[in-house]
């Protein structure tokens, strides 16, 4: 089979589309013929050597995708050959075929396309736990969302809005600001402006109830716009590492810093299916809209990586085998 691989860390030029041995499934696994693969910043980090990797070189990136089961291990029950499925946490997804543990496979409803399944799961499940577990959104909460036009940001905005809270967005351009507004942001500010002062002004210097912080380098600015007894939820660092936070600062300001990682939430197949099922139901009932992805052939994965790193993208990027 063909796969997108790399053997040394570096920029997108290290990626190679090549023939590799097809996976041989274990008794608890299923073999999936991939139809759509999600590209995420974690793949960039892994390619650069900043994130954990499975196996040995040549490495195969990717943890998210959707496809059709073509083979089932002898100990697998509840899944069938020909069934449409997706996953959010199975390694080596940048390939034509993937061996997936059966407890990490999520059945796709007929109403959910492969493209939507591969676009929704990682970012959607992230938005789900952020608004359920990290900080439970309440009606009328003022909520600041970093990178509001990005994949997670768009879904966060919609979920926050559907809960009767007030989403406020931060984006890098006026074009992205329009997308954030279309998804439900009441106000949108640009990183290039004095957004801290602007947010304090629109909140009458009280600040917001919660900030969803995914940039990293803006962490202390996020605290600046958080109200007393408010919360900053740190879940990403696409702009670089955050500064260290002195616990005495949290005590003195009565503010909360919390973090989240999806892998500490998806602890069982029941959790995966329950949370994904809620996302799917929102999509099917039009309560949640998944923007059209930008697709690249898997063979042109380097171009997709460059596009993601350019920060020009506003939604999901997919790789199509």
What CATH number does the domain containing 149 carry? 3.40.50.720
Q: What is the mean pLDDT of residues 263-279?
A: 93
Residues 147 and 247 in one domain: yes
For 14-34, write each residue's pLDDT tens digit. Answer: 999 999 999 999 999 999 999
Single residue among 259, 276, 305 that ends a domain in this structure: 259
Residues 280 and 254 in one domain: no
Q: Is 21 exposed, middle or buried (0-12, 13-18, 19+ CB in 10 A)?
A: exposed
Residues 149 and 218 in one domain: yes
> The domain containing residue 245 runs over which residues?
139-259
Q: Which tokens is 265 given?
A: 């939430």
- Could you give the number of structural domains in the chain? 2
Query: How long, in residues, is the chain?
Result: 321
Single residue among 243, 259, 275 that ends a domain in this structure: 259
What CATH number does the domain containing 11 carry? 3.90.180.10
Among the residue ranges 35-39, 71-75, 241-245, the one predicted with the least confidence is 241-245
The predicted structure's pLDDT at residue 136 = 96
Residues 216 and 283 in one domain: no
Residues 151 and 243 in one domain: yes
CB 182 within 8 A of CB 126: no
For 279-320, write each residue's pLDDT tens digit. Answer: 999 999 999 999 889 999 999 999 999 999 887 777 799 999
| Domain assignment of residue 132, yes or no | no
The predicted structure's pLDDT at residue 320 = 98
* Residue 19 dihedral angles phi and psi, to the nearest 5°: -80, 130
Per DSSP, 95 falls in state B
């Amino acid at each position: 089979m063909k796969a997108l691989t790399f053997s040394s860390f570096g920029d997108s030029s290290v990626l190679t589309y090549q023939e590799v041995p097809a996976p041989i499934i274990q008794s608890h696994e299923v073999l999936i013929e991939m139809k759509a693969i999600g590209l995420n910043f974690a793949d960039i980090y892994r390619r650069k050597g900043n994130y954990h990797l499975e196996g040995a070189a040549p490495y195969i990136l990717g943890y998210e995708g959707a496809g059709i089961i073509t083979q089932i291990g002898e100990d697998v029950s509840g899944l069938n050959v020909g069934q449409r499925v997706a996953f959010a946490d199975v390694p080596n997804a940048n390939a034509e075929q993937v061996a997936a543990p059966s407890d990490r496979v999520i059945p796709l409803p007929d109403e959910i396309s492969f493209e939507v399944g591969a676009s929704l799961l990682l970012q959607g499940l992230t938005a789900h736990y952020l608004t359920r577990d990290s900080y439970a959104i309440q009606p009328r909460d003022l909520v600041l969302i970093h990178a509001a036009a990005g994949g997670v940001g768009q879904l966060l905005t919609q979920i926050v809005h559907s809960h009767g809270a007030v989403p406020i967005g931060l984006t890098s351009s006026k074009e992205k600001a329009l997308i954030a507004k279309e998804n439900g942001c009441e106000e949108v500010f640009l990183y290039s402006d004095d957004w801290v002062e602007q947010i304090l002004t629109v909140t009458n210097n009280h600040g917001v109830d919660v900030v969803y912080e995914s940039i990293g380098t803006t962490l202390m600015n996020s605290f600046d716009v958080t109200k007393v007894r408010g919360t900053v939820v740190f879940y990403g660092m696409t702009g670089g590492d955050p500064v260290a936070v002195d616990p005495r600062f949290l005590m003195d300001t009565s503010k909360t810093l919390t973090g989240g990682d999806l892998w500490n939430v998806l602890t069982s197949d029941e959790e995966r299916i329950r949370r994904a099922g809620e996302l799917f139901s929102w999509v099917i009932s039009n309560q949640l809209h998944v923007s059209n992805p930008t697709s690249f052939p898997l063979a042109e994965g380097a171009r997709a990586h460059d596009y993601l790193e350019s920060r020009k993208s506003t939604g999901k990027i997919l790789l199509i085998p």
